[in-house]
Amino acid sequence: MSSPPLAYLRTFEAAARHESFARAAAELHVTPAAVSQQIRLLEDRLQTRLFVRGARNLRITREGRDYAASVGAALERIEEATRALSSQAVTGPLRIGTFPSFALHWLLPRLTDFRARHRGIDPQLSLSTAIEPLGAGGVDVTIRFGAGKYPGCNAELLMREYVFPACSPALLEGRPVPARLEDLAALPLIDDKGLAAGEQRMAWEDWLGDHYTSAMPRISLPDGLFTMQAALLGQGAAIVRQSLAGPYLREGRLVRLSKERRATDYSYWLVTPQGEIDPKTERFKHWLFDTLSASSPS
């Protein structure tokens, strides 16, 4: 039997330590459903039951507890070796370019983990809605949201994106979530005026179709950062990106206004200079893909 994926083992170790899928999910910045599915895949792979799932509680089995002790020790040795390698061989600033909404809602909450794993590297964020130059005088690596066409650069797909309407529970004032999309016309709508041509699935005109009129109460904001913040403040309903809204949905600060989600025409890309990349960028790249792998249910 081959070893399980490292992402499964990290998820299992957190779930075993907390004896809770919900608390493990909060630590790993994923949903409890993603944790549960990874544990089930791990159990299927090992052909061993690791947890007993009750209606209101979760209990680790004896086999699971023994396995968790070994896995935890192994992961700690990996962490120690990584920290030692990082501190000895790779040090200095790493200039990371990205756009403000992704930095605030996705990257910043996770950078503490990167710093802990690579103590010799100093990540420095450069925020801009424009594509920043790479290399001398620019940034070392950038994360962009687009079609993946960046001439003169290497672009690797990080993750695809989906959107859906959401709002703060306070906006509903205790009323049930509207049952139909057309019922959203009764709510103030937040327009993101920073949308590019390939993001029109994030516009209210596209979602509401014939039910959309210019007479609806609307708030126009310049970009996705302000749009998300306005939604969190209860100022209106917004079309939000799943990757950025996830934590706020889990915390109950946002509620979905439709079960439907739509794939965007754009995706997230890791963009680096052509040719061999420097060791700091390589460390960041591997950390980023490991983090995304741990967030994926498969």
Per-residue pLDDT tens for 104-132?
A: 889 998 999 999 888 889 999 998 877 77
pLDDT of residue 295: 65
Alpha-carbon distances of 173 from 167, 179, 221, 281, rounded to whole Å: 11, 16, 23, 47
Distance, CA of 261 to CA of 259 (rounded, Å): 7
Q: What is the rounded average pLDDT of the residues 140-156?
A: 89
CA count, 13 A, side-chain hemisphere, 38: 29
Position 168 confidence tier, pLDDT thresholds 50, 70, 90? very high
CA count, 13 A, side-chain hemisphere, 286: 11
Whether residue 233 is predicted with pLDDT greater than 90 in this model: the reply is yes
- Tell me how crowded residue 85 is: count the other CB atoms within 10 A of its CB: 14
Whether residue 86 is predicted with pLDDT greater than 60 in this model: the reply is no
Q: What is the rounded average pLDDT of the residues 19-29?
A: 88
pLDDT of residue 238: 93
The pair of structure tokens assigned to 120 is 């010799």
Residue pair 284/90 in contact (Cβ under 8 Å)? The answer is no
pLDDT of residue 65: 93
* Range name among 22-26, 48-52, 139-143, 183-187 with the lowest pLDDT average: 183-187
Whether residue 137 is predicted with pLDDT greater than 80 in this model: the reply is no
Distance, CA of 212 to CA of 208 (rounded, Å): 5
Q: What is the rounded average pLDDT of the residues 88-101?
A: 85
Average pLDDT value for the chain: 86
Distance, CA of 103 to CA of 225 (rounded, Å): 10
* Range name among 53-57, 88-92, 166-170 with the lowest pLDDT average: 88-92
| Max Cα–Cα distance, the chain, nearest Å | 63
CA count, 13 A, side-chain hemisphere, 276: 2
Whether residue 150 is predicted with pLDDT greater than 90 in this model: the reply is no
pLDDT of residue 83: 67
The pair of structure tokens assigned to 55 is 């209606």
Give helix 6-18 / helix 32-46 axis angle, nearest 10°. Answer: 110
- 3-state SS, residue 262: strand
Distance, CA of 181 to CA of 260 (rounded, Å): 10
pLDDT of residue 297: 42
Whether residue 190 is predicted with pLDDT greater than 50 in this model: the reply is yes
Whether residue 262 is predicted with pLDDT greater than 80 in this model: the reply is yes
pLDDT of residue 124: 93
Write out the H or E segment, with its range, that includes residue 219: strand 218-221
Whether residue 185 is predicted with pLDDT greater than 80 in this model: the reply is no
Helical spans, DSSP H, in 182-256: 204-208, 224-232, 242-251
pLDDT of residue 198: 65
pLDDT of residue 156: 93
**What type of residue is 180?**
R
Distance, CA of 219 to CA of 230 (rounded, Å): 9
CA count, 13 A, side-chain hemisphere, 143: 23
Distance, CA of 177 to CA of 158 (rounded, Å): 32
pLDDT of residue 57: 83
pLDDT of residue 122: 92
Residue pair 188/235 in contact (Cβ under 8 Å)? The answer is yes
